[in-house]
Amino acid sequence: MRISDAKVFVCCPGRNFVTLKIYTDSGVYGLGDGTLNGRELAVASYLRDHIVPCLIGRDPSQIEDIWQYLYKGAYWRKGPVTMTAIAAVDVALWDIKAKALDTPLYNLLGGKVRDRVMVYGHAYGTTIEKTIEDVNRHIESGYVAVRAQSAIPGLSSTYGVTTARAYEPAQKGLPAEHSWSSEKYLAFVPTLFEQLRTAVGNDVHLLHDVHHRLTPIQAASLGRALEPYRLFWMEDATTGELQEGFRIVRQHTTTPLAVGEVFDTIWDVKLLVTEQLVDYLRLSLRAGGISALRKIASFAEMYHVQMGSHGASDLSPVTMGAALHFDSAVHNVAIQEYMPHSKETLDVFPRAYRFADGYMHPAEAPGHGVDFDEALADKYPYDPAYLPVNRKLDGTLWDW
Ligand code: EZ4
Ligand code: CO
């Protein structure tokens, strides 16, 4: 079998997605997701202009060799654009191999180690009361794990909180500006979780995302203050570029720590894993695809670190569909983030995975089980949108 062609599609069924379709001379095709929220066209060009010409004529069964060829062969390694583009190719090739062998993708990864994949949903509210109501709504619809974010009193906007029915991190047009105060945030969040834990009891996993907005010592202090409420994890408590920063957080708190949705390679987690500074890695298939994430998971497994992949709705259903095969087959996967896609998005990506009672079930169809309706996608042209930036109250650009 040979790769005969590959095409890149950019569409916006409610939000922007980049989709790679690899065709073979046997008629089997594979689909990969090349979406990098807010930087979509950079990946589309990387794929179209630099990768697709190198793929034509190759044997699609040689997934590892093609991965190495694209990673090492570029000379310029790592980085979100490169790794997202490699991920799109890698996932499409795994899809082709599983379809060619007429089996669900999880079978090629060692087979199922669990019946279903625990997911966590996103609850949010403009007040503590509304946040508790939203967490309860999630519990009523079956979720066993819920992330809770609440507007911070005294701040005009908070990332992760909206009054809209569905939360979308990117906004049309140029980047919005949010305001930030670590002091107001630190004074508020323990009260949120105190009331939340009292309201929902002990049977549900509660999670929280700090979005990298605290310094290591502030993160340490928040982790300690949240200990009585027994979080499943505190996510992105501080920025991850300096892996040593997590030593400070870890030294001071037993609240479990998760990090990594913005990481691209195994190198980004080396110290975090070998020093056991975090409990969960949040890299998604965007970080180099199934071939890369398997290695990261095996490395983490040696150090009692588990996986809990990023699963926001700005990754396309192709990533979710493929991730569920990875999640079903990899032993040290603990949980998967799940932000449901809009109806417009789901119509463009017919799929065979499903959500039931707080858990996701991978497709049982051959491949990863997610398809792409090109004609429908054509009706939704690219529409620029950006993630917001975040400034402290004095105007200093801050982390998020
Ligand atoms: O901010 O996917 O844990 N989930 C998150 C997401 C990310 C977005 C960025 O594109 O933090 O909402
Ligand atoms: Co996050």
- What was the pLDDT predicted at 123? 97
Q: What is the pLDDT of residue 165?
A: 67
What's at 309, amino acid-wise?
Answer: S
**Interval 194-218: pLDDT, tens:** 999 999 999 999 999 999 999 999 9
Mean pLDDT of all residues in 256-263: 98
Dihedral of alpha carbons 113, 287, 390, 236, sign: positive
Q: Whose CA is nearest to atom 10 of ligand 1?
A: 37
261 CB under 6 A from ligand 1?
yes
Selection from 205, 236, 253 nearest residue 310 by Cα: 236
Where do the H-state alpha helices sit in 4-146?
40-45, 52-55, 63-73, 80-100, 128-140
DSSP 280-320: EE---TTTTHHHHHHHHHHHHHHTT-EEEE---TTS-HHHH
Ligand 1 pocket residue status of 258, Cβ below 6 Å: no
Ligand 1 mutation target, pool 36, 282, 314, most atoms within 8 A of CB: 314
Q: What b-and-e string marks burial along 77-95, b requiring 16 or more CB atoms within 10 Å of the CB?
A: ebebbbbbbbbbbbbbbbb
Return the residue matching tokens 């279903």: 116
Task: Give 281 Cα–ligand 1 centroid separation in angstroms.
Answer: 14
Please give the distance, rounded to the nearest whole angstrom, from the Cα atom of residue 234 to the centre of ligand 2.
Answer: 10
Alpha-carbon distances, residue 155 vs 118, 150, 151, 386 (angstroms):
33, 11, 8, 21
d(CA 374, CA 17): 12
Q: Each residue of 306-344: pLDDT tens digit?
A: 999 999 999 999 999 999 999 999 999 999 999 999 999
> Which one of the listed residues 211, 310, 325, 368 is annotated catalytic?
211
Of the residues 29, 159, 185, 353, which is catalytic? 159
Residue from 159, 261, 283 to probe ligand 1 pocket by mutation (most atoms less than 8 Å from CB): 261
- For ligand 1, whether the C-beta of 169 sits within 6 Å is yes
Rounded CA separation 117/353 (Å):
11
Mean pLDDT of 16-24: 99
Residue of the CA atom closest to atom 1 of ligand 1: 169
**CA–CA gap between residue 383 and residue 82 (Å, rounded):** 22
pLDDT of residue 204: 98
Atom number of ligand 1 nearest to Cα 313: 2
Do residues 189 and 222 touch, judged by C-beta distance below 8 A? Answer: yes
Examine the residue annotation and report whether 46 is marked as an active-site residue of this protein: no
Ligand 1 atom, smallest distance to 211 CA = 11
Global confidence as pTM: 0.98
DSSP 159: T
Task: Please report which ligand is nearest the Cα atom of 310.
Answer: 1
260 lines ligand 1 (CB under 6 A): no
Other Cβ atoms less than 10 A from the Cβ of 107: the count is: 16
Cβ–ligand 1 distance for 268 under 6 Å, the answer no
| Greater model confidence, 13 or 157 | 13
146-191 pLDDT tens trace: 999 999 999 988 888 877 767 788 999 999 999 999 999 999 999 9
Distance 296 CA to ligand 1 centre (A): 20
Query: Which tokens hold the place of 165?
Result: 């029915």
Q: Is 159 a catalytic site residue?
A: yes
Is the model's pLDDT at 248 over the cut of 70? yes
